Amino acid sequence: MKPSDASSALDTLVNIKQPGFLWGAPGIGKSAIVKQCADRNNLQLIDIRAVLLDPVDLRGLPHVNGDNRAHWATPEFLPRDGAGILFLDELNAAPQLVQAACYQLVLDRKLGEYELPDGWTVIAAGNRETDRAVTSRMPSALANRFVHIGVDCDLDDWVAWALSFCIEVELIAFLRFRPNLLHAFDPARNEKAFPSPRSWEFVSKILASNPPAHIQYELLTGTVGDGAAAELLGFLKIFQNLPNPDVILMNPAAAPVPDDPATLYALTGALVKKTSDTTADAVFQYANRLPAEFSVLLAKDILKNKPEIANTRAFIEWSINHKEVLF
């Protein structure tokens, strides 16, 4: 399912304290989905990288109390009170003995003498075996203790996230233009750098830092691979030569409308960034002159970025004319 649906599914599991396991390819944002679920429900989040643990790290070390009997000193990272999500990331990459140590914790909410507080839920995540990532086959006894959720990339979900997290607007426009590059992971090619939601976030940070031109290509290649880097740089040249959005907003009725799809994707991305209460009239006046699919794309991205624009007269009038395709 797409990330927003997976996030809603986690809300349900957390509400009933049912352990869940997110499956998905590397870099698609499984950890981010869990964090957003915790934030949305005002829960604590303890993120444990299971692949880094030894079995003794979960069970704890034995010690002797005054009663001359051995007890287990449970690790500090396990919660003692409150409510939250205990997140076992990369669980299926952990050694078999570590996975076995999770049996009782996942199903019975206990680990030896330790008991998981009532307000906590165990959620785990891992890469699929078909992704050729580092994995250990999960024992069926452990797998049967989870509700399993497969997560796939979704461009609209990513754009909504990217707009709220201030990802560079030209990068959002590029991935609108080349949606297949949002996640282009081929396990058979064994590439060190490949396009994924996680690596595109890195690209955004690189672009925002304005690196010297002579090293920009190498930085991008080292982040998303040479093919995606070359396409992005070509698109950025288009973006840099766009009509000035401010000029368009000064005269939206007469400003030229490009014919090239790549330019239109770039231009709508630039206009999203310029939209506010004071510019909405001009933006939607220009939107009425765009091809229908780009007009709707512009409106949807504006609402994802600034939902309050839905209350403006300009948007209401525009939506009446496009109600058959907007929703």
- In DSSP notation, 57-108 reads HHH-EEEE-TTS-EEEE--TTS--SSEEEEEEETGGGS-HHHHHHHHHHHHT
User: Which pLDDT tens digit goes with each residue over 229-274?
Assistant: 999 999 998 888 888 888 899 999 999 898 888 899 999 988 998 8
pLDDT of residue 186: 78
User: Which pLDDT tens digit goes with each residue over 129-172?
Assistant: 766 655 667 778 888 889 999 999 999 999 989 988 889 989 99
- Of 210, 209, 227, 229, the C-alpha closest to 218 is 229
pLDDT at 327 over 60: no
The secondary structure of 172-197 as a DSSP string is: HHHHHH-GGGSS---GGG--SS---H
pLDDT of residue 131: 61
Domain ranges of the chain: 3-150, 155-326
Architecture of domain 3-150: 3-Layer(aba) Sandwich (3.40)
User: Which pLDDT tens digit goes with each residue over 94-137?
Assistant: 888 788 778 888 888 888 778 899 999 999 998 887 666 556 67
Phi, psi of 176 (to 5 degrees): -65, -40
pLDDT of residue 73: 72
Task: Classify 241 as helix, strand or coil.
Answer: coil
pLDDT of residue 164: 84
Find the helix packing angle between 292-305 and 280-287, rounded to 10°.
Answer: 150
CB 18 within 8 A of CB 121: yes
What is the distance between the alpha carbons of residues 150 and 116, in angstroms, rounded to a whole number?
26
User: Which residue carries 């590439």 as its tokens?
Assistant: 191
User: Which pLDDT tens digit goes with each residue over 270-290?
Assistant: 899 889 989 999 999 999 999
User: Which residue carries 């401010």 as its tokens?
Assistant: 246
CB 170 within 8 A of CB 239: yes
Phi, psi of 87 (to 5 degrees): -100, 115
- Of 129, 160, 158, the C-alpha closest to 26 is 129
What is the distance between the alpha carbons of residues 173 and 272, in angstroms, rounded to a whole number?
10
CB 21 within 8 A of CB 121: no
pLDDT of residue 325: 62
